[in-house]
Amino acid sequence: MMKNVIEVRDLVVVRGSREVLPGISLDIGAGVAGLLGPSGCGKTTLMRCLVGAQRVRSGTVEVLGEPAGSPPLRTRVGYVTQAASVYDDLTVAENLAFFARVLGVDPGQVDEAVAAVGLDDHRSQVVGSLSGGQRSRVSLAVALLGTPDVLVLDEPTVGLDPVLRRDLWELFHRIAEGGAAVLVSSHVMDEAERSDRLLLMREGRIIADGSPEQIRERTGARDIEQAFLRLVEGQEEVA
């Protein structure tokens, strides 16, 4: 697999009169990368750009050597939005079977995807009757269909209990061990330590990039929350 799975160059996104992304550039390779920052900092906008679902003012985004959102990436990129993107009036198994047909993947992958997200006991349950966390896991199962080379996950663990959050992060790492690139966004600082690589984001800019340990050492902080605060304070002093 190529060294850089995702390449972003001089990406500018404007919404109304606000420049949401002011010309950022970054590369993402295989492994689990965490995109961490407060709500409203541009994480979701960046992720939408990576899957070709966001109008951009200028710049380029390439995924697996193709323009983001292009047809060749249809089954190679899995995307999970913050809101569950499945049908409430279908069962878990029916949702997965439907999306398997849409994506043209082997129906046998339905069982594998349901098992991967721990929903075997709910496969015959109508999605609308599931809890919020369970519905999010159905969306994740859909994204796993086809064994994608890239997974873009927008705050997939928000609102989940600690045990389930731990289990999902273990799943993300297992997927990455197979050579995939997994990008997981969050605004919860204590999740940062679970990433191989961490991108700290504020006001549309990447303010730190490295392993959690590297970022802590660089800032002299005891944890990522303190590191983030020191980086922000340093920016404000420079300004």
pLDDT digits (tens, 9 = 90+) for 18-59: 999 999 999 999 999 999 999 999 999 999 999 999 999 999
Helices 109-116 and 92-103, packing angle to 10 deg: 130
Whether the CB-CB separation of 36 and 224 falls below 8 Å is answered with: yes
Predicted model pTM: 0.90
Can you tell me which residue has the tokens 């990406």? 11
Q: So where are the chain's domains? A: 1-76+185-239
Q: How many CB atoms lie within 10 A of CB 208?
A: 19
Q: Which CATH architecture best describes the domain 1-76+185-239?
A: 3-Layer(aba) Sandwich (3.40)
| Contact status, residue 8 vs residue 205, Cβ threshold 8 Å | no
| % of the chain with per-residue pLDDT over 70 | 97
**Burial state string for 114-123 with b = 16 or more CB within 10 A and e = fewer than 16:** bebbebeebb
Mean of the per-residue pLDDT values of the chain: 92
Residue 2 confidence (pLDDT) above 60? no
Task: Give which of 60, 71, 58 is closest to 27, Cα–Cα.
Answer: 60
